[in-house]
Amino acid sequence: MVFGAGGFLGARICALLADRGIEYRGLSRTRSEPYRRCDLAAMHPYALDTQIGMYKPTVIVNAVGATFGEPADLVRANVIAVEALLGSVRDQAGHARFVQLGSAAEYGGAPHGTSLSEDSAPRPLGPYGITKLAGSELVLRAQRAGADAVVLRIFDAIGPGAPDSTLTGRVIRDLRSRQLIEVGSLDVWRDFVDVRDVAEAVLAVALADGKLPPVLNVGTGRATLARDIAGQLFELSGQPATIVDDAEQETALGAPWQQADPTLIGDTLGWSPKVALEQSLADSWSEPV
């Protein structure tokens, strides 16, 4: 079962499952076909128990989450929804593997040129990172109590269909609609990983035998300056553009430097990113509107 199937990551995971012929059930907060409607933060526990009890899944993927919004909205999506799902899985499908899609924002930043490993101490800098870490801590607590649970800390996911909440999504939206590009600070370094590689990592975790590490990083191991990402998209568009770079938004974006150490997931599952950054950006630009 994939919760959050209508979102950027969830939809790509479902598409990969369908492509591989793996039986799944997608659930989404919005009424988006072909997924069943399910709002984890708002629905009655009995209704959630009924859904999970009906299908008896072997794997639960939680791709539910909010990136922006009021603190209360972030708590509902990133903490309360996780708690509700964990409780229902414990009661209705205790045998299932629980895969939580966490975020690199849980780590906060790191000194320039260094990599963040699963052993790095989490130091989130804003409401998004704090609430994502709180949700992940609930999963890790369940894991320590005996649940088969894994947190995937996903670095900056990009690729076809990226929403406006992402750097590439905002830049592409503005390039297609006007010549004024409004973004936050572009003087930050991020580890950009294609959404298709993220989906492959989730599938590898879902199908793996035996006990897995409690936390696994999903990233490329290479940080790229956000300004260079925007520049490559400008070149792909072939359009003149003016950038409005609001450095005051840097705090909202987080620390100046983030780069994954993906060694553990590679050693454990043999996963490594396959989609090059240049290909990911080209595919993102050519994605039909």
Where in the sequence numbering do the catalytic residues fall?
128
Question: Are the CB atoms for 124 and 71 separated by under 8 Å?
Answer: no
Distances (CA, A) of 104 to 12, 22, 133, 144, 168: 19, 28, 9, 22, 17
The two beta strands, 59-62 and 156-158, are unpaired
* Residue 7 DSSP class: S
Residues linked to residue 260 through DSSP beta bridges, in sequence order = 116
Q: Number of C-alpha atoms within 13 angstroms, CB side, residue 106?
A: 28
Those residues whose C-beta lies under 8 Å from the C-beta of residue 282, and which sit 6 or more positions away, are 236
Cα gap 202→7, rounded to integer Å:
15
Over its C-alpha atoms, the chain yields an Rg (Å, rounded) of 18
3-state DSSP assignment of residue 149: strand
Terminal Cα-to-Cα distance of the chain (whole angstroms): 28
